């Protein structure tokens, strides 16, 4: 979880890199505390005539919850497009925080030879050091992020959207085969 100043306010480390962010989140202590209403206790705001808790922002993969806002999907009218645009602008703080974290600590981008027990400790330490740098106004060189992006491309995680598309295609193929097997032609 990243605050409006690009500092990490909650981290969850120790899951394998191929686990989707939304699954890690759903199994985290942060999710439980938000669900129970104890993470932002007694902090409500009113928008229009709706009283609401403080909300966090997520991408479309996350569940829509009273305390978690995500963009609209599907066919969008102009009001929904504007909402998505503004939500995206706010979420850019998170993207920038991760970019700066990886720019400062490029070792997070490459394969690590550390023991599995120590990797979460190193990641947590990098997040704490990032927060200190951000709080103290430490200089961040733009070239660091460029180099980090180049390294990230070399060690990219699998594209889960492509995997989901493949799964949808596989489901369609399986259904077509199933229907074919049930037809007269399939019985021959």
Rounded to whole angstroms, the Cα distance separating 152 from 32 reads: 31
pLDDT at 130 (0 to 100): 96
* Residue whose token pair is 């409500």: 44
pLDDT at 116 (0 to 100): 84
pLDDT at 142 (0 to 100): 76
DSSP string, the chain: -B-TTS-BS-----S-TTS-HHHHHHTSHHHHHHHHT-SSTT-EEEETTEEEE--EE--TTSPPBTTEE----SS--HHHHHHHHHHHHHHHHHHHHHHHHHHH-GGGGS---S-TTTHHHHHHHHHHHHHHHHHTT----HHHHHHHHHHHHHTPPP-HHHHHHHHHHHHHHHHHHHHHHHSTGGG-
pLDDT at 184 (0 to 100): 58
pLDDT at 71 (0 to 100): 93
Rounded to whole angstroms, the Cα distance separating 155 from 165 reads: 22
User: Mean pLDDT by 10-residue block, N- to C-terminus, for the chain (188 residues)?
Assistant: 95 82 91 91 84 89 91 91 92 92 85 85 95 91 73 60 63 66 56
pLDDT at 167 (0 to 100): 65
Rounded to whole angstroms, the Cα distance separating 161 from 10 reads: 26
Rounded to whole angstroms, the Cα distance separating 115 from 77 reads: 50
Q: pTM, whole model, 2 decimals?
A: 0.71
Most distant CA atoms of the chain, gap in Å: 75
């Amino acid at each position: 979880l990243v605050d409006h100043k690009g500092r990490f306010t909650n981290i969850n480390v120790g899951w394998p890199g191929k686990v989707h962010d939304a699954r890690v989140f759903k199994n985290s202590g942060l999710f439980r505390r938000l669900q129970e209403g104890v993470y932002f206790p007694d902090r409500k705001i009113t928008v229009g005539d709706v009283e609401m808790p403080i909300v966090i922002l997520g991408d479309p993969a996350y569940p829509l919850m009273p305390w978690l806002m995500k963009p609209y999907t599907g066919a969008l009218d102009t009001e929904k497009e504007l909402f998505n645009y503004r939500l995206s602008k706010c979420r850019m703080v998170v993207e920038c925080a991760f970019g700066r974290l990886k720019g400062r600590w490029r070792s997070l981008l490459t394969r690590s030879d550390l023991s599995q027990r120590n990797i979460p400790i190193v990641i947590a330490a990098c997040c704490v050091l990032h927060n200190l740098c951000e709080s103290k106004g430490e200089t961040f060189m733009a070239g660091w992020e460029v180099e980090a992006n180049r390294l990230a491309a070399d060690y990219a995680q699998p594209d889960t959207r492509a995997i989901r598309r493949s799964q949808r295609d596989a489901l369609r193929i399986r259904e077509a085969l199933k229907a074919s097997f049930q037809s007269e032609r399939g019985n021959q």
